[in-house]
Structure 1
Amino acid sequence: MTNTIPVLNNRIATFLSVVFHPLLITTYLFGLLFFIVPDLMGVSALELPAIGSLLLLIFLNTFIAPTIVIYYFYRLGIISTLHVDSLRERRLPYLACAIIYAIATYLFGWQLRPIGELAPQIAILLGSVTVSMILIAVISLSWKISAHATGMGGALGILTGMLIRFDEPLLLAPLLIVVLITGFLLSARLYLNAHTPAQIIAGVACGVTVSSATVYFLF
């Protein structure tokens, strides 16, 4: 029994780390906002299939594309594991992800004109995530900040900012759920010894600061 409990806890912590991977948090956040507050995201005029297609496009650009690049880094021996745990190995993958997110921001904001004109909020939020990615890449030159914490901090900042600025009560329940998930996820990262408490706190602070400023100044 004593051996089973640590193994079970390790599996749960790993499961949470995978399911709430930083690159997936972007899709989760957009899905939540599209279906709960479509008016604030500018997609209320779209039918459900169109919203689904838009969410799929975001998923392809913000998860599939970066994942493929990271996989090729692994195949080429640039990184030793797909988890990118080493500080030295984190720099190039995060820089590549930041570039991909910047391209996605440009795509949704300027190239896909119907989307950019109908829902400029998409490019604004993608730009916010891009800034966080750049900060992670820069900080990772000398220190291992938590990307999981930054992603969840970003989600918390956006939800809290929109709830306060637009007085939208529909966001309260999702915000509380995200707070709960954040607590479990960051505890899991600490349990796996993936980060120190300081790296977790710095990540949350980074995500909250960038996303809150985005909602306050650009929405």
Structure 2
Amino acid sequence: MSLQWTIIAGFLYFEIFVVLLLVLPVASPRRWSAFFKSRFLQGIQQQAGIYFMILLGVLVLFLLDAIREMKKYSHIDTQEGVHQHLDAEMQGNMRLFRAQRNFYISGFALFLSLVIRRLVILISSQAALLAQSEAALKQAQGATTAARSFMTQRGEMAQNESNEAHDEEVSSLKKQIQELEDKYQVELKDKLAMKTQAENLSEQYDSLAEEHSKLQKKLTAGADADKKSD
């Protein structure tokens, strides 16, 4: 195997190892996202697109070369027509095998490059979605806590308002009762005063009646005395 195909084969093995690391549960999407956002990768991020396009171009060139070699050595028999020399046939088959091997190496390397790029994008998107879901969950929990606190405060306020209304009603009733008691006391005093006045009038009437009866007796006695003197 020539040097360039050895390098491409090594790159293919490296891609297989990277794909296994990304696919197997070696690390969580958050850790992969943190690794992708590391200082080293951030430093080459601006040029990563250019490097990737150059890599794809190189792999495509090697793939096209392998296809050309396959077409070249797959028509040796038809071009010669018959098997003249066994050594020439074995060399042709060997070169065809190498071309096919190079085709598979370059093809899989190109395919895995696209797969790795897609896996990195998907893992980064998954990490972002997980962060958004956690933020949304925390926000929902905060909103639920705030709603419960608001409902509790609302209930306490309603209870306080109810207690205040009850206290106002009780104080209003007490005030009305006090007013009625004051009116009752005033009426009771008036009634007692009228009763006392009536008793005084009755006593005065009795004393006047007694004096009147005494005067009548005196007048009657004086009239009888005048009749006797006549």
Q: TM-score range by the shorter chain?
A: under 0.3
TM-score (norm 1): 0.27
TM-score (norm 2): 0.26
Report the structure number with the largest CA radius of gyration.
Answer: 2
